[in-house]
Amino acid sequence: MVAKLIDGRAVARKVRGEYKLRVDQLLSQGVRPGLAVILVGDDAASQVYVRNKIRACDEIGIHSQTIRFASDTPQSQLIDTIQALNADPSIHGILVQLPLPKGFEMGRVLETISQDKDVDGFHLYNVGGLITGSTVFPPCTPYGVQKLLESEGIPIEGQNVVVVGASNIVGKPMALMLTAKEATVCICHAKTRDLAQFTILADILVVAAGRPNLILPQMVKTGAVVIDVGINRLPDGRLVGDVDFDGVRLKASYITPVPGGVGPMTVTMLLCNTVQAAERRLLSARAG
Ligand code: NAP
C-alpha cells in the first residue's frame, strides 16, 4: 500500500478561495474584515510567521495591521493596546504572536483579548468551549487538521484516534475537537510509556510532538490515516515532520507531507476565523 498524499497547499487554496468570496460579500455590505497582529520582541521565526499571516490577509482582501513592541515594553502598554483594539470597529480579529518574551504573563495578555475577536482561539472562553462544543473560534492548527480530514471525506465518528503531543495549542484541542466528532481519542505525551502500544491502534494518528522520526512504520497500523503536524529543522537544513515519511507512507492509507501538509492550513484557518468574526459582528449589529 502506498498512502495517498493529502495536499495541504491545494486544500488551503480551495478554502481561501471560498473565504475570498465571503470577504467580497462583506465588502458589498460595507464591511472590510480587519486583523490586528501584535508582535513583541524580535524572535526571527515569529517575524516570518507574522509576515506570512499579513501576506495571506492581503491575498483575500482582509485589512491587516501589525503592531510591534520592543521586548522591554511594559506589559501594561501591551494590555492598553489590546483594549483599544477591542474597542476599534475596524478590527474584527486580534492575534498576539507567541511566544511572548520572558517577563510577560501570557495568560493575562490573552485573556485581555475580547472573546469576540479571539481569532487564534486561545482565550479561556474559546478553550473552554472546546469542552462544551460551543467554541466560537477553534485554534487554527487543529482546525486545519480537521479541515484536511473533511477534505478527503475521512470519517471520524467511531474511529480510534491517537494524538501524540498534548500542548495547549495543538494536541489537547485536537483531541477535544475529534472527541466532539465522536471519535475514541487517546492523548500521548513525553511521559507515555511505550508509545507504540497506543499508536498501533490508531485509525487516525495525529502527531504533534516536535521530534523528527518519532513515528516509525512498525508503530503504525496498516491503512491508518497519518497527519504529521511536526515541523523540525534538521542540522543539514532540511525541514521534516515527526513521522518517518518514506517508511510510513508505504503502510498508511493517507499521509500529510512536511512541508505542504498541515502548515498551509494553519494560516488559512486564521483567515477563516477572522472572516467569521466579521460576519458575526455584522449579524449582531443587524439584530440590534
Ligand atoms: P510543544 O508545546 O513543545 O508540545 C509538544 C508535545 O509533544 C508535548 O505535549 C510533549 O509532551 C509531547 N512530546 C514531546 N516528545 C515526545 C515524545 N518523545 N513522545 C510523545 N510525546 C512527546 O509543541 P507544539 O507547539 O504542540 O508543537 C508540536 C510540533 O508541531 C512542533 O514541531 C511545532 O513546530 C509543530 N507545529 C506546527 C504547526 C503547523 O502549522 N504545522 C503549528 C503549531 C505547531 P509533554 O507534554 O509531556 O512535554
Pocket of ligand 1 (CB under 6 A): 141, 164-167, 169-171, 188-192, 195, 208-211, 214, 229-232, 262-263, 266
| For residue 23, pLDDT beyond 90 | yes
Domain termination residue (choose one: 51, 80, 114) = 114
Judgement on whether residues 198 and 145 belong to the same structural domain of the protein: yes
Residue of 7, 11, 41, 6 whose CA lies nearest to 272: 11
Which strand (E) or helix (H) includes residue 110? helix 106-112
Indicate whether 167 belongs to any domain: yes
Q: Based on the residue annotation, tell me whether 77 is a catalytic residue of this protein.
A: no
The residue annotated as part of the active site, out of 118, 120, 203, 244, is 120
State in Å: Cα 165 to ligand 1 middle: 5
Beta-carbon-side half-sphere exposure of residue 76 (alpha carbons within 13 Å) = 0
| For residue 288, pLDDT beyond 90 | no
Indicate whether 3 belongs to any domain: no
| For residue 1, pLDDT beyond 90 | no
Judgement on whether residues 104 and 144 belong to the same structural domain of the protein: no
Backbone angles phi, psi at 224, to 5 degrees: -70, 155
Average pLDDT, the chain: 97
Indicate whether 218 belongs to any domain: yes
Look up the pTM and report it: 0.97
Judgement on whether residues 95 and 202 belong to the same structural domain of the protein: no
The residues pairing with 49 across neighbouring beta strands, listed in sequence order, are none
Judgement on whether residues 81 and 168 belong to the same structural domain of the protein: no
For residue 24, what are the contacts with CB-CB under 8 A and spacing of at least 6?
Answer: 61
Judgement on whether residues 172 and 227 belong to the same structural domain of the protein: yes
Range of the domain at 73: 30-114
Q: Based on the residue annotation, tell me whether 120 is a catalytic residue of this protein.
A: yes
Judgement on whether residues 92 and 199 belong to the same structural domain of the protein: no
Task: Tell me the percentage of the chain whose pLDDT exceeds 90.
Answer: 98
Indicate whether 275 belongs to any domain: no
CA distance 187 to 68: 36
Q: What is the CATH number of the domain that holds 57?
A: 3.40.50.10860
Backbone angles phi, psi at 235, to 5 degrees: -55, -30
Which tens digits make up the pLDDT trace of 166-186? 999 999 999 999 999 999 999
Atom of ligand 1 lying closest to residue 242 CA: 32
Q: What residue owns the CA closest to ligand 1's atom 35? A: 230
Indicate whether 183 belongs to any domain: yes
Is residue 271 very low, low, confident or very high in pLDDT (cuts 50, 70, 90)? very high
**What is the domain count for the chain?**
2
Judgement on whether residues 110 and 152 belong to the same structural domain of the protein: no
Which tens digits make up the pLDDT trace of 121-173? 999 999 999 999 899 999 999 999 999 999 999 999 999 999 999 999 999 99
Q: What is the CATH number of the domain that holds 230?
A: 3.40.50.720
Which three three-digit cell numbers place residue 270? 486564521
Mean pLDDT throughout 8-24? 98
Which tens digits make up the pLDDT trace of 35-88? 999 999 999 999 999 999 999 999 999 999 999 999 999 999 999 999 999 999
Indicate whether 276 belongs to any domain: no
Return the pLDDT at 264.
96
Q: How far is CA 1 from the centre of its chain?
A: 30
Mutate to test the pocket of ligand 1, among 170, 199, 211, 215 (most ligand atoms within 8 A of CB): 170
